[in-house]
Amino acid sequence: MNNRQVMEWIPYESLNNIQFIAKGGFDCKVYSGTWLKGNILYWDSKKKAWARNSPVSVALKQFENSHNITSNFFEELKTYHLYGSDNNGIIEFYGISQDPNTKNYILVTEFASKGNLRNYLIENHKSLNWERKINILLKISVALQDIHSSGFTHRNLHGGNILLHDDHEYPKISDLTLSKYIDDNKNQKFYGVLPFVAPEILRGEEFSSAADIYSFSMLMWQVSSGIPPFSNKPYDNQLAIDICNGKRPKIVSKTPKSFSTLMERCWDADPSLRPNVQEITAMLFRWHFSLEQNRSTDIVNAFMVNNRKTVAAQIDSESHLEVNYNSQLLDFKDLPEPTNYYSRIHCHDSAYGSSTNTLSSYKPSEASSLSKSSMNSLSDESKRPPLRKTPTYAESLRKQQQASVTYFYHAEPTSKLGKY
C-alpha cells in the first residue's frame, strides 16, 4: 500500500493557524494553515502504520455553498489524488475537510509559499532573462505532458493556477480537476479565465488536449510580457467575440522569432493545427539546453541578443477595472465560428520576431497599406475568408521546425526531460 491509495478525511480540528489569503475562483476562499498530523509519506511495515510529515503547511480551499457538490466531483478528486501524489509538477492534494459551522467542504493541498506565476511575473519580470523564462515554461510543459500522457486534460490552465515554492522558478500546476462543475445547478457550463480559454471551448465544444495547448500559448505570452493577456480590457462577451474572430495579444517587441512562431501555432483557431505538448516540450528543452550550454546557434543567438537589451514592452499594462483574474463561470451565446484573422504583416529581422497578428493591432499607417477592397472585407462578416484559407507565417515554418524538433526529441528521451 502507498500514499496514493489514501485520500484522507481530515478533521477540521487538526488544522491550525488558519489565515485568509485571497478569494479564488469557483466561489472559494483560500487560506493557509498547519495540518498538525501531517500528510502521509509511506507505509512503515515495521511499525505497521503510516509515516507522516508532521506538522506541515497546507493550503485550504473552502467552497461557498458546497452542500450541492456532486458525486462526480468527488470521483475526480480521487483521480487528482492518485495522479498528483506521484507527480512533482502537480500540486499535491492531501484530502478533504469540512467547516463545522458553514458545512462547506475544504480541499487540503500542498502549500506553495511563493504564490502564483501571475504575481511573480508582475513583480520580477524585469530581472528575468530568456534562459529563465524558457526554464519556467519548460517545467510547466513537462508537467502538462505528464497530464496528457496519462489520458487527462487540465481544462483551466492559467497564471493563477501555476504555483511556486521556495525555489521561485520551480512551478507546479494546481487545480487539475476544478473546472468541472461543483454545483449541479450550473451543469453544462464552464469555469475559466477568459483569455486562456480556447475559442472552440467558448462556443461550447467538447474539451480536448488541444484546448490546454491554447491555454499554454497564453502562458507563453504572459511569460514573455510579464502581464496577463488582455489585462487592459474587460473580460466580457465582447472579448469572447473578439477571440473567436481571431484577436490575440500583440506579440511583444523583440520577442525571438522562433518563440513567437511556436506561440502562434499554439493559439491557432483550428485545434487540429496546434502542436501537441510533446513537440512543445522538445522545442523548449532544445532552447533551454542550448542556452544553458551557451551553444552558438542562430536561434540561441536571438535569445542571447535579447538578454543584452532592455526592451520596453509596447503594451498597456494598466489593468482594466472589470478584469477578474480568477476563474469565472463562462456562458456566452451565439459566438462566431473561430477563425484566424491575421493581418499577414510580419516584420522579422535576423535576431527577433515581431508580429502584428490581429485586427485590433492595426495602426493607421499599417491599415493604409491595405487595398480598399481588403478594408471593406474586414467589416463584412460574409466576405471573411474561411478558416485557414491563407497560411500564417507560423505555418510556413512548421515543417522545418517539426523536422528539427523530431530529431532532437528522439535524441533526448522523455525520461531525461522529467528532471526539469
Q: Are residues 21 and 96 in the same domain?
A: yes
Q: Are residues 171 and 305 in the same domain?
A: yes
Specify if 60 maps to a domain.
yes
Q: Are residues 192 and 290 in the same domain?
A: yes
Domain of 84, CATH number, reads 3.30.200.20
Q: What is the pLDDT of residue 4?
A: 57
Residue position matching grid coordinates 522538445: 282
Residue 340: name the closest of 384, 373, 381, 374 by CA.
384
Residue 328: name the closest of 265, 240, 226, 207 by CA.
240
Domain of 183, CATH number, reads 1.10.510.10
Rounded to whole angstroms, the Cα distance separating 319 from 382 reads: 34
- Give the residue ranges of the chain where pLDDT is below 50: 179-187, 310-317, 320-321, 343-420
- The count of structural domains within the chain is 2
CB contact burial 49-70 (16+ within 10 A = b; e otherwise): ebebeebbebbbbbbeebeebe
Specify if 416 maps to a domain.
no
Q: Are residues 174 and 266 in the same domain?
A: yes
Domain of 25 in residue numbering reads as 8-110
The last residue of one of the domains, among 78, 93, 110, is 110
- pTM, two decimals, is 0.76
Specify if 151 maps to a domain.
yes
Cell numbers that stand for 13 in this block: 480540528
Q: What is the pLDDT of residue 253?
A: 85
Q: What is the pLDDT of residue 304?
A: 76
Q: Are residues 153 and 31 in the same domain?
A: no
Average pLDDT across the chain, whole number? 76
Q: Virtual CA dihedral for 19, 23, 29, 31, nearest 10 degrees?
A: -20
Specify if 132 maps to a domain.
yes
Rounded to whole angstroms, the Cα distance separating 414 from 143 reads: 12
369, amino acid identity:
S
pLDDT digits (tens, 9 = 90+) for 240-278: 999 999 999 999 988 999 999 999 999 999 999 999 999
